Chains A and B, each alone.
Chain A
């Protein structure tokens, strides 16, 4: 009996979706907008997160040594830094390599190169490049350096630690990203609420058209479940059809936006992101579609269902 009723409910829901073509079309169009907003929100948060990760990746500490520092001393500083648990790796750039890098960077700047040639000795010091495991750990590393190798005391071989110069910029960037994420979340929630309300209203109108029919169903003795069931199925159909269309629309849109996002956000191609996380996107969009469609139908029909 349950199976028979379920089969009837599904059949009636499908037929209802098909026969009320214009109503279904308008509900589907509105839902496409809602799902598009939800999808766009997912894309933008992914872009933001990926850019944040790659920006964080670029954060490091450079320790500059005085030009006459002995390599042995520098290497002992290197190994003492490497012993810190928060340090991921330390790379050593010798005086000579630093000079080569400098020449390479200024190969089009003849005047600088000439000035460099005028000098007898290599004016550059060696550099240690330190990467921490977490961006928040740089401060600890910097403090360790400050305590053990104080700058400007006349004895230390450390000339400069660039963390203290960059600290303000790094902190500000962190604050901007934090604020951006918070604002993004608020705007996202507002957008999603608005689009769900619009969908709910459209489906409510669609159900209003069926108000008289619901009354007839009640009069021939249909139970609430038997009346509600097909409308939930129809609502879910709105969701499925509109989510499939939305997923198809995202294809050319992300393809077109891909190169732009790659340039604008650090090395993140939105099209590649869409392809690589399609399974996840499919579940989220289709799931939201079915959920919004059937819940809206349920809320819309509830008011007509009081038996009597």
Chain B
């Protein structure tokens, strides 16, 4: 379970990114966070990944206050949260196989496990044939699928997707959302931030609307309303 307890985040230039946010996400949920640019969506994600610390309030993962964690514990937390970004963020001098294997190496998995699990992850995202290509040799949609494979290969409890379809055409967007749904069906909590009205309306899952750093709407089976 993820729990934001009255969280406020004010950046050093006095910008209020989040203000008194209370939010609870249950295991296995598929939650979409929508809002204008600068509404505070990415700050929510950064707080969850311990990339930023809250100015006030606390963020819990299970029963642990994320921002009380020390260096190595932060690493362990992140291995439990798969992440996907709009700009894919693959390691450019590693092949597709190595990019996915890297996440497993970080988690201390053996070479055998890597040889077994990476092809499975590639199969799930339909990129088995591209295993030995480098990221720049792939299209945007393919790169995002690699990012998904990397995010799920360690079977994390949560998958965070920050505008994953922002750089993709409608066809690739559809594919990515289908993959995310499949992953959610397998029991992983999915947190998706997006601008895409079409996706939200089609998904018919929980929608949290953020505006000016505040949650203004939280509906189960909601629609994209700003």
Contact = CB atoms under 8 A, between A and B. Distances in A.
A221 B79 contact: yes
B72 interface: yes
Given A1-B108, A224-B71, A307-B74, A219 B93 contact: no
Chain B interface bracket (under 10, 10 to 19, 20 to 34, 35 or more): 20 to 34
A8 B107 contact: no
Contacts of A226: 105-106
Interface in B86-119: 89-93, 102-103, 105-108, 110-111
A308 B52 CA distance: 7
Interface stretch (A59-67, A110-118, A147-155, A210-218): A210-218
Given A19-B93, A224-B71, A307-B74, A8 B105 contact: yes
Contacts of B79: 220-221
Given A20-B93, A212-B89, A307-B71, A220 B150 contact: yes
Contacts of B91: 213, 216-217
Nearest to A224: B71
Contacts of B50: 308
Contacts of A16: 93
A164 to B, nearest CB: 74
Nearest to B98: A15
Interface in A191-246: 212-213, 215-224, 226
Contact of B106 (A4, A212, A221, A308): A221
A4 B107 CA distance: 12
Interface of B: 49-53, 71-72, 74-80, 83, 89-93, 102-103, 105-108, 110-111, 150
27 contacts: A4-B111, A5-B108, A15-B93, A19-B93, A20-B93, A213-B93, A216-B90, A216-B91, A217-B91, A217-B106, A218-B78, A219-B78, A219-B83, A220-B78, A220-B83, A220-B150, A221-B75, A221-B76, A221-B80, A222-B106, A223-B106, A224-B71, A226-B105, A307-B75, A308-B50, A308-B51, A308-B52
